Structure formats: C-alpha cells, structure tokens
C-alpha cells in the first residue's frame, strides 16, 4: 500500500505537506482548552426564535405568549414591534411596562422565556465530523460532553483528538485543543472541558 502510506505521489508533493503544515499551525500551536471557565455569572439574553411568556398582573387580556421574530422584535396587544433580542427578561419587562403605562395604571409585567434559542452570538456551534452539526443555545455549566451528546457524538471518520474550540477572548480570537475521542469513545472524563457562550467546536476529518 505504498501509495496509501505516501498519500500518493502527487498528493505527497502538493497535499501532505499542506496538511502537515495546517495540522502543525492550527492544532499543535493551540493550547489545551481550560477545564473550567471563569466563574463570572452568565446572564441569558433573549434571541430570535425564543418564545416569550408575558404576564401582566390584573390584566389577563394582555397576558400572552408570543415568539420573537427573526428581526428580534415582537408584538402583543397595545405593544407594537418592541425590540426583545439582546435584552434580559427583566429589561424587557420594564420596557413593556413603559409602553403599557400609556394605557393602564401602574402596569406590572413579568416575562419568562420558553423554547430557548438565545442570542445568535452566544450560541455554541458545532461543525465538521459531528453526527448532527448544529448551533446550540448555551446553558450555564455546559461542557464539551454535553455538546457531544446533543449532536449525537462523532462520525466514523472524525479525528476527535484533533478537535479545536474557537473562542473570543475580549477582541481576540483564540483556538484551543480538545480531545473529543478520548472523552466520547474512551470515556476519559479528564478530557472534558467547559464551553463558553459563542464557542465554535471544530471537528476535523481523519486524514487516513
């Protein structure tokens, strides 16, 4: 199997060196992902696709459940095209109260979220050799193992131990190594790491 071992004469000249350079620069140059994230509190912010449960005290006719539209806004009786995306539930409740104050005395509003999707920039994205590549709403305490369970694990051709997490640290983009094969297929819990809002988990295909 000389051709397979050498990647083929043409690929050896033009392909293998490129793949090796890419592997060295992207994977070996990336530090291991931190096992735990900073303990700063995570505050959920509403995103398009979320379902809002809006309760207006003493006004059942204004209590309703509505979706957040793709433009990040929603409408209810007496409230037209109010921005919801990027706000917390408390912030949105106060905004609704300001609008309703024009129509009713001392409105008291409570907002809860169902059908979580979350703000686009805080979703965790999984690309490459996952069984179901997708974008997931971030949950406080979410780990790489949680993510892999939700995307159905690795494909047959995944190079799980060459996976990387792309993460924004302030204004800079950082890349970290994560050994998903050890975690998922060997059950090595030491390979588990905490995810952060906005992480991109990249799972490459095995070269051979």
CA distance linking residue 72 with residue 83, whole number of Å: 6
Q: Would 31-41+120-203 and 51-114 be classified into the same CATH topology?
A: no
Buried/exposed code over 25-45 (b: 16+ C-beta within 10 A; e: otherwise): eebeebeebeeebeeeeeebb
| CATH entry 3.10.560.10 includes domain 31-41+120-203 | yes
- Show the CA angle centred on residue 171, arms to residues 90 and 137, nearest 5°: 45
Please give the pLDDT value at position 19. Answer: 40
Q: Are 47 and 118 in contact (CB under 8 A)?
A: yes
Please give the pLDDT value at position 32. Answer: 84
Strands (DSSP E) along the chain, which ranges? 51-56, 64-67, 73-76, 79-83, 109-114, 124-128, 134-136, 163-169, 172-178, 200-203
Q: Are 30 and 162 in contact (CB under 8 A)?
A: no
User: Which positions of the chain have pLDDT values less than 50?
Assistant: 1-26
The first and second tokens of residue 187, run together, are 């059950």
Backbone torsions φ then ψ of 174, nearest 5 degrees: -120, 145
Please give the pLDDT value at position 207. Answer: 79
Query: 51-114: which CATH topology?
Result: wza like fold (3.30.1950)
Please give the pLDDT value at position 37. Answer: 62
CA distance linking residue 32 with residue 44, whole number of Å: 27
What's the N-to-C CA distance of the chain in angstroms?
12
Please give the pLDDT value at position 22. Answer: 44
- Which helix (DSSP H) or strand (DSSP E) does residue 148 occupy? helix 144-150
Q: Are 88 and 44 in contact (CB under 8 A)?
A: yes
Please give the pLDDT value at position 177. Answer: 96
Please give the pLDDT value at position 161. Answer: 96
Q: What is the DSSP letter of 143?
A: B
- Domain regions of the chain by residue span: 1-30, 31-41+120-203, 51-114
Please give the pLDDT value at position 18. Answer: 41
Q: Are 77 and 62 in contact (CB under 8 A)?
A: yes
Please give the pLDDT value at position 40. Answer: 62
Instruction: Assign 134 to helix, strand or coil.
Output: strand
- Whole-prediction pTM: 0.75
């Amino acid at each position: 199997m000389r051709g397979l071992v050498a990647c083929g004469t043409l690929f050896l000249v033009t392909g293998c060196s490129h793949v090796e350079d890419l592997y060295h620069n992207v994977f070996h140059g990336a530090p291991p992902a931190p096992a735990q994230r900073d303990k700063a509190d995570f505050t959920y912010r509403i995103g398009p696709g979320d379902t809002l449960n809006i309760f207006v005290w003493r006004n059942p006719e204004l209590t309703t459940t509505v979706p957040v539209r793709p433009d990040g806004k929603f409408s209810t009786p007496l409230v037209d095209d109010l921005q919801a995306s990027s706000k917390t539930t408390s912030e949105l409740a106060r905004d609704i109260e300001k609008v309703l104050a024009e129509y009713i005395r001392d409105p008291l509003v409570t907002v809860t979220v169902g059908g979580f999707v979350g703000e686009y920039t805080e979703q965790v994205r999984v690309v490459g050799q996952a069984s179901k590549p997708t974008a997931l709403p971030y949950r406080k305490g979410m780990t790489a193992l949680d993510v892999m369970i939700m995307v159905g694990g690795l494909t047959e051709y995944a190079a799980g131990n060459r996976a990387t997490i792309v993460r924004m640290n302030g204004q800079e983009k950082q890349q970290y190594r994560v050994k998903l094969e050890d975690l998922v297929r060997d059950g090595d819990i030491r390979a588990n790491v905490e995810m952060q809002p906005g992480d991109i988990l990249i799972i490459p295909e095995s070269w051979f």
